[in-house]
Amino acid sequence: MARDLSPLFNPKGVVVAGASSHPGKFGFVSIHNILRCGYEGPVVGLAREAGELLGIPVLASPDDLEPDTYDLVFVCTPPTLNEDLITRCAAKGIKAVFMGAGGYGEAGPDGLVAQERLVALCDELDLILVGPNGQGVVSPPASLCAQIVAPYPPQGHIGIASQSGNFVSSFENYASQTGVGVSRAVSAGNAAQLDVVDYLEWFAEDPETKVGLAYVEGIVDGRHFFDRISEVAKRLPVVILKGGATANGQRAAASHTGALASDDAIFDGMARQAGLVRAHSVHEAFETAATLASQPLPTGDRVAVVTTVGGWGVVAADALYRSSMDLAPLPDDLRAALDEKLPPRWSRNNPIDLAGGETRETIPEVLELVAAHDEVDAVLFLGFGVQSNQADLMRSGEFYPDHGLERIVDFHERQDARYAEAAVEISQRHDKPVLVCSEMAVTCPDLSGPAAVRASGRLLYPSADRAVAALDLARRLTRFRQART
């Protein structure tokens, strides 16, 4: 049974201890970020002197807090003050402590003693304790950005729990870039009371979260970790990124959090046995989580590749060959149906190379025929964005808007938007993944094509290889689950 973390992720009010008027201090930045990102509940600061900051009241003592008004206290004060602070906050109905302050377990033996006392106190007072030495908690459904760093992602369904605050920032930035949003995000810091799995356990019960995304380094009790995360993985897809996979990494990790990293091959076997989705890079972890959060899951291995021109399809076929999935043999009836829609020069095979023969309706019609077929489990659509790319060159040049350019630019941009919408609609209707790929996701994300995919809440995959990598990991998860039903 997961611990109820609602007071942390859906607090009715937030207190920031150590409020500061210096815009470089955590006690300012955290208040600024909470207010700047639109948190609607009451926010109050605590400082040595009462006053006002960014329009909110600052109180001189926790004793002055309105009772039962605040669930969360965000602590930026040093360890010597915090036990008294927490005790008095708890008396006012506070249920969760985010310990942003350092100087605990990561700071040597004395800090570790202080940390143990902190945990004992929070346990006694039945308080949730996050950190110490964490970076913040983000919860877009509650419009909450209680962080000492900036990235505030759009709302979505990825729940992030990380042993390193930096990776929370990375994933949040990817969410902002791609438009595939976040439900909750938290850095576990020293994980004195709650570890990454505690957060995942709650995510599995959280209706806002469809996939967990976790970064771990050292694991203190591997068997316990395995037993708990296996249970989570039955209910929530969990993408895991592990630091310290190599000998060098292990040394770095040991100096980073004071926990020892375990042997990578055993970890890998453990992860597979637990039904975790293990990614090997930050972008792969995010893109896989984004796939699991926004696409129907692939139920089989047969992938159809639809491409507007040849080369992209060839490389995608290569990537599929290296994956655990297959290029679907093109069914005869599907070939015949496509013959009706396409000029004779089309590839007549998978990859389905349209050979530049598309007219206004071709791409949505082809995607529909392909995705609808029983012998296709997933679709890759390559060559997306060509039209908005051309539109951009026309719109930004000296000949625009004359010579019919205004009209064609408008047409091109509408077409790419239609393709993005069609991919989502067709995918949902047939309950199959349809992954749209274009390097324009990175090279020119603001053009209408990439923007339309972003607006749909799905990932525009920056290459076919990366789409295949994410799809392959998603397929490993469904294969694992199918073997056990």
Partner 1 sequence: MSTHTLSEAASRAIVAAAGVPVSAYTTVTDADAAVAAAADIGYPMVAKLCGDAIAHKSERGLVRLGIGSDDELRRSVDELLALARPEDGEVDVLVSTMVAGKRELIAGLVRDPQFGMAVMLGVGGILAEAIADVAFRLVPITRIDALELLDDLDSQSLLGEFRGEPAVDRGAVAATLVALSDLAESDPNVVSVDLNPLIIADGRPIAVDALVETTQGAPS
Give the pair of three-digit tokens for residue 274.
């637990």
342 touches partner 1 (CB under 8 A): no
Of 73-81, 217-225, 339-347, 419-427, the window that binds partner 1 (rule: CB under 8 A) is 217-225
The helix-helix angle for 448-455 and 386-395 (nearest 10°) equals 130
| Cα–Cα dist 465/463, whole Å | 5
Sheet containing strand 96-99, edge to edge, reads 51-53, 56-59, 43-46, 14-17, 72-75, 96-99, 128-130
Judged by beta carbon, residue 150 or residue 252, the one nearer partner 1 is: 252
Pick from 272, 280, 345, 429: which binds partner 1 (CB under 8 A)? Answer: 272
113 touches partner 1 (CB under 8 A): no
Kindly list the distances between the CA atom of residue 204 and the CA atoms of 167, 221, 226, 237, 476, in Å, as whole numbers in the listed order. 21, 21, 16, 9, 20
219 touches partner 1 (CB under 8 A): yes
Q: Which residues, at least 6 apart from 298, have a Cβ–Cβ distance to it below 8 Å?
A: 325, 377, 378, 432, 433, 471, 474, 475, 478
Judged by beta carbon, residue 1 or residue 265, the one nearer partner 1 is: 265
| Cα–Cα dist 269/92, whole Å | 47
89 touches partner 1 (CB under 8 A): no
Pick from 106, 231, 268, 318: which binds partner 1 (CB under 8 A)? Answer: 268
Pick from 174, 202, 226, 346: which binds partner 1 (CB under 8 A)? Answer: 226
442 touches partner 1 (CB under 8 A): no
Pick from 38, 269, 356, 404: which binds partner 1 (CB under 8 A)? Answer: 269
Kindly list the distances between the CA atom of residue 202 and the CA atoms of 74, 212, 427, in Å, as whole numbers in the listed order. 20, 10, 29
Judged by beta carbon, residue 269 or residue 343, the one nearer partner 1 is: 269
CB of 295 to partner 1, least distance (A): 24
| Cα–Cα dist 461/316, whole Å | 12
Pick from 10, 143, 262, 390: which binds partner 1 (CB under 8 A)? Answer: 262
CB of 426 to partner 1, least distance (A): 32
Judged by beta carbon, residue 191 or residue 453, the one nearer partner 1 is: 191
Pick from 22, 109, 265, 402: which binds partner 1 (CB under 8 A)? Answer: 265
Kindly list the distances between the CA atom of residue 365 and the CA atoms of 232, 337, 361, 461, in Å, as whole numbers in the listed order. 40, 10, 6, 21
Pick from 24, 332, 336, 484: which binds partner 1 (CB under 8 A)? Answer: 484
Beta bridge partners of residue 138, listed in sequence order: 145, 185
222 touches partner 1 (CB under 8 A): yes
Pick from 61, 166, 246, 273: which binds partner 1 (CB under 8 A)? Answer: 273
Pick from 60, 247, 266, 393: which binds partner 1 (CB under 8 A)? Answer: 266
Judged by beta carbon, residue 268 or residue 465, the one nearer partner 1 is: 268
263 touches partner 1 (CB under 8 A): yes
223 touches partner 1 (CB under 8 A): yes
Sheet containing strand 277-279, edge to edge, reads 144-147, 136-139, 182-187, 155-162, 211-216, 238-242, 277-279
Judged by beta carbon, residue 219 or residue 440, the one nearer partner 1 is: 219
Judged by beta carbon, residue 257 or residue 456, the one nearer partner 1 is: 257
Q: Residues in contact with partner 1, total (CB under 8 A)?
A: 18
The helix-helix angle for 109-124 and 79-91 (nearest 10°) equals 0
320 touches partner 1 (CB under 8 A): no
483 touches partner 1 (CB under 8 A): yes
478 touches partner 1 (CB under 8 A): no
CB of 412 to partner 1, least distance (A): 45
Which of the residues 375 through 434 are near partner 1 (CB under 8 A)? none
Which of the residues 164 through 203 are near partner 1 (CB under 8 A)? none
> What's the one-letter identity of residue 309?
V
Pick from 21, 282, 480, 481: which binds partner 1 (CB under 8 A)? Answer: 480
Q: Answer yes or no: are the C-beta atoms of 99 and 129 closer than 8 Å.
A: yes
CB of 278 to partner 1, least distance (A): 12
Of 112-120, 133-141, 328-336, 476-484, the window that binds partner 1 (rule: CB under 8 A) is 476-484
Judged by beta carbon, residue 326 or residue 425, the one nearer partner 1 is: 326
Backbone angles phi, psi at 242, to 5 degrees: -115, 125
Of 5-13, 84-92, 267-275, 350-358, the window that binds partner 1 (rule: CB under 8 A) is 267-275
Of 330-338, 350-358, 434-442, 477-485, the window that binds partner 1 (rule: CB under 8 A) is 477-485
CB of 52 to partner 1, least distance (A): 51
Summarize as ranges the residues that interact with partner 1 (CB under 8 A): 219, 222-223, 226, 260, 262-263, 265-270, 272-273, 480, 483-484
